[in-house]
């Protein structure tokens, strides 16, 4: 890794700990998401993946440790602040504006971050074109099937080229073919948007297919970090997934 | 047993939007056909649509704030009331003196718009903004309290007696629309102004930067904020528009009645609030439809009921409201997102 990449702004968790009424959901986790990379975040159900993403996007204040954006300590700031400073995310449930047309779902993010309506519309159409949804731009978002809804959610997060995007299970419940489409989309994000991606996903084919690095959580603790190859062969990971034999 | 099944089928039918739309259009068309054949009925038609427009406008001002903020704003009627009092000299004297109300008509409209918008924005800054993170119920109680504060301020400054305030008196003249059909010019202007304001509001919401953010915020406030929508700005703008609409409601009402009382906002808010409820809380189209239903039925009933029960026409209007809510508890044109915010 060159020194310029080291000093570029990164989204970082330092010793982040989050607990809910005594239950530790995330326990002293360290991670540094660099611009332009795709990092996978995996682990069994309840491992604390979404909770960590919540901390990295302002939805959850860490009980201990800190979240940094570059050198700035940003833990405790609002999701609104994170979005305005280039940290975007998607949600497991699409949470689109169901009454608004698909294009306006993306436009609203672009407009609130500074574009005028015309430019925001052009920007939204570009994103929809890339996502393969251009023909559905005028439909109310509420009528979209689940899989398209996810893709609009990704488009909405990528409006105005954020520096980081955190995708929470974008491929959940999708068929193999749909997973291929999502993989294509996710793998294009860094080059197209210069954006660092953190990907939570249960589908191992998707994770192993697009991630350069993987971080494995189990019961809130980091149990493994490395390349897909390294992680797949790590006995700790195998044990976490297959149970304690 | 058979009857019950029948009733259930009818109410199921009424919950279908298309059926309702056809039914509404049919009633409107039949109404127009019945009306144009007879001068008196035609007069009733114009008057009732005018009354409907008036309540539609008032309901929009309430519906907009509910949509964006889940605020049920009972102080709205008192903004309307104060906008009326702003026309006259502040004094407790028995006779009132027009000050702003004696200016050039254009100036009157502009000053009253400015006054009401300012009142609305101050109300949000001092009362509703600090309470934004409490529950909708608490904000509603606060709006009641604000309303009473404004009413009592009015009594302190202007006294409790009704005051005369004749503005735009030329608008109350009758105009002949056709053989035997004459209505006050104000009725026609009310319809025209409402149509124009509706058009402006629609364009604003559809085409402008603030408009798209406001629609997003009305649908899912938290999500809108997460995407970067500036909540304070969007909410302040919703108050600006609500105040703007209140100023027109006030000018129309005062022109019509010519008298100010500190309680004059109450009947307006009650009817307008009912209009937003039967239209569907949080839906702007619903507010307009609800306003029309309340206004039209109120005027029509006043005219067609037999003389001895005519005085109780409001009872029939409210009966109709109950019937509508029984058939469609969610309102005639419900907002898909009217659920409580989490």
Domain ranges of chain B: 12-327
Q: Looking at chain A from residue 100 to 119, which residues have their Cβ under 8 Å from any Cβ of chain B? A: 100, 104, 107-109, 111-113, 116-117
User: Once rounded to an integer, what is the mean pLDDT over residues A108-131?
Assistant: 94
Report d(CA B316, CA B305) in Å as an integer. 10
Are A109 and B337 a contacting pair at CB < 8 A? no
User: Once rounded to an integer, what is the mean pLDDT over residues A196-224?
Assistant: 94
What local confidence, expressed as pLDDT, does residue A64 receive? Answer: 93
Report d(CA B204, CA B187) in Å as an integer. 26
* Distance of residue B335 Cα from the nearest chain A Cα, in angstroms: 9
Are A108 and B231 a contacting pair at CB < 8 A? no
Q: Could you give the C-alpha distances from B158 to B92, B94, B95, B115, B316, in angstroms and in order?
A: 4, 9, 11, 17, 36
Q: Using an 8 Å CB-CB cutoff, list chain B residues near A112.
A: 213, 224, 227-230
What local confidence, expressed as pLDDT, does residue A2 receive? Answer: 37
What local confidence, expressed as pLDDT, does residue A3 receive? Answer: 35
B243 contacts B121 by C-beta, under 8 angstroms: yes
* pLDDT at residue A127 greater than cutoff 90: yes
CATH of B12-327, one of 1.10.10, 2.60.40, 1.20.140, 1.10.3470: 1.10.3470
Q: Tell me whether A81 touches chain B (CB under 8 Å).
A: no
What local confidence, expressed as pLDDT, does residue A244 receive? Answer: 56
| Range of A43-47, A170-174, A180-184, B303-307 with top mean pLDDT | A180-184
- List the single residue in A with minimal CA-CA distance to B225: A80
User: Once rounded to an integer, what is the mean pLDDT over residues A193-218?
Assistant: 94
Q: Tell me whether B229 touches chain A (CB under 8 Å).
A: yes
CATH superfamily of A3-94+155-242: P-loop containing nucleotide triphosphate hydrolases (3.40.50.300)
What local confidence, expressed as pLDDT, does residue A6 receive? Answer: 39
Q: What is the mean pLDDT of chain B?
A: 88
Please report, for chain A, the start and end positions of each structural domain, with discontinuous segments joined by +.
3-94+155-242
Q: Per residue in A16-33, pLDDT tens?
A: 999 988 889 999 999 999
* pLDDT at residue B280 greater than cutoff 90: no
Inter-axis angle of helices B185-207 and B231-257, to 10 degrees? 170
Q: Tell me whether B220 touches chain A (CB under 8 Å).
A: yes
Q: CA angle, corner B66, sides to B62 and B71, nearest 5?
A: 100
- List the single residue in A with minimal CA-CA distance to B335: A99
Which one is predicted more confidently, B331 or A58?
A58
**Would you call B88 helix, strand, or coil by DSSP?**
strand
What local confidence, expressed as pLDDT, does residue A5 receive? Answer: 39
Q: What is the mean pLDDT of chain A?
A: 90
ipTM: 0.85
- Measured between CB atoms, which of A83, A84, A98 is closest to B336? A98
pLDDT above 90 as % of chain B: 51
Are A80 and B225 a contacting pair at CB < 8 A? yes
Report d(CA A115, CA A119) in Å as an integer. 6
Q: Tell me whether A142 touches chain B (CB under 8 Å).
A: yes
What's the pTM? 0.85
Report d(CA B9, CA A27) in Å as an integer. 57
* Distance of residue B280 Cα from the nearest chain A Cα, in angstroms: 15
* pLDDT at residue A45 greater than cutoff 90: no
């Amino acid at each position: 890794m060159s020194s310029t990449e080291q000093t570029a702004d990164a989204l970082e968790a330092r010793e982040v700990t989050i607990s809910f009424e005594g239950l530790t959901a995330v326990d002293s986790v360290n991670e540094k998401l660099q611009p332009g990379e795709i990092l996978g975040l995996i682990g069994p159900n309840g491992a604390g993946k979404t909770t960590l993403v919540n901390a990295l996007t302002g939805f959850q204040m860490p009980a201990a440790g800190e979240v940094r954006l570059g050198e700035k300590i940003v833990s405790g700031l609002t999701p609104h602040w994170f979005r305005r400073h280039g940290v975007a995310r998607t949600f497991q449930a699409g949470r689109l504006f169901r009454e608004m047309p698909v294009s306006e779902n993306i436009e609203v993010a672009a407009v609130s971050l500074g574009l005028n309506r015309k430019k925001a519309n052009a920007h939204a159409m570009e994103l929809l074109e890339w996502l393969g949804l251009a023909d559905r731009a005028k439909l109310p978002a509420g009528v979209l099937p689940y899989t398209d809804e996810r893709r609009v959610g990704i488009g909405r997060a990528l409006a105005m080229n954020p520096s980081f995007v955190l995708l929470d299970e974008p491929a959940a419940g999708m068929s193999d073919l749909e997973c291929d489409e999502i993989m294509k989309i996710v793998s294009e994000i860094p080059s197209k948007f210069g954006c660092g991606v953190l990907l939570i996903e249960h589908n191992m084919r998707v994770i192993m297919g697009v991630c350069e690095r993987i971080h494995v959580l189990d019961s809130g603790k980091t149990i493994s970090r490395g390349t897909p190859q390294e992680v797949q062969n790590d006995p700790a990971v195998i044990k976490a997934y297959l149970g304690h034999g | 047993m058979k009857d019950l099944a029948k009733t259930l089928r009818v109410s199921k039918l009424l919950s279908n939007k298309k059926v309702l739309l056809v039914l509404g259009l049919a009633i409107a068309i039949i109404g127009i056909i019945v009306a144009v054949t007879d001068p008196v009925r035609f007069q009733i038609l114009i008057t009732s649509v005018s009354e409907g427009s008036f309540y539609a406008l008032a309901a929009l001002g309430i519906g907009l704030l509910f949509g964006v903020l889940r605020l049920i704003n009972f102080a709205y009627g008192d903004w309307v009331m104060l906008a009326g009092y702003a026309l006259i000299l502040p004094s407790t004297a028995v006779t009132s003196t027009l000050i702003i109300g004696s200016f050039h008509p254009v100036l009157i409209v502009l000053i009253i718009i400015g006054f009401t918008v300012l009142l609305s924005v101050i109300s949000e800054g001092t009362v509703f903004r600090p309470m934004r993170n409490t529950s909708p119920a608490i904000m509603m109680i606060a709006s009641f309290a604000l309303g009473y504060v404004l009413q009592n301020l009015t009594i302190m400054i202007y006294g409790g007696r009704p005051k005369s305030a004749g503005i735009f008196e030329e608008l109350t003249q009758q105009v002949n629309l056709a053989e035997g059909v004459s209505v006050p010019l104000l009725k026609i202007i009310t319809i025209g102004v409402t149509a124009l304001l509706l058009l402006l509001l629609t364009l604003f919401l559809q085409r402008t930067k603030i408009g798209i953010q406001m629609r997003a915020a009305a649908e899912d406030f938290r999500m809108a904020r997460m995407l970067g929508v500036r909540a304070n700005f969007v909410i302040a703008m919703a108050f600006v528009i609500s105040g703007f609409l209140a100023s027109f409601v006030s000018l129309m009402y005062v022109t019509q009645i010519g008298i100010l009382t500190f309680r004059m906002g109450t009947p307006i808010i009650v009817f307008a609030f009912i209009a937003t409820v039967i239209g569907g809380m949080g839906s702007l189209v619903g507010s307009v439809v609800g306003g029309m239903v309340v206004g039209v039925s109120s005027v029509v009933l006043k005219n067609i009921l037999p003389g001895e029960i005519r005085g109780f026409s409001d009872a029939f209007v409210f009966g109709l409201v109950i019937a509508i809510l029984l058939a469609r508890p969610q309102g005639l044109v419900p907002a898909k997102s009217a659920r409580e915010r989490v």
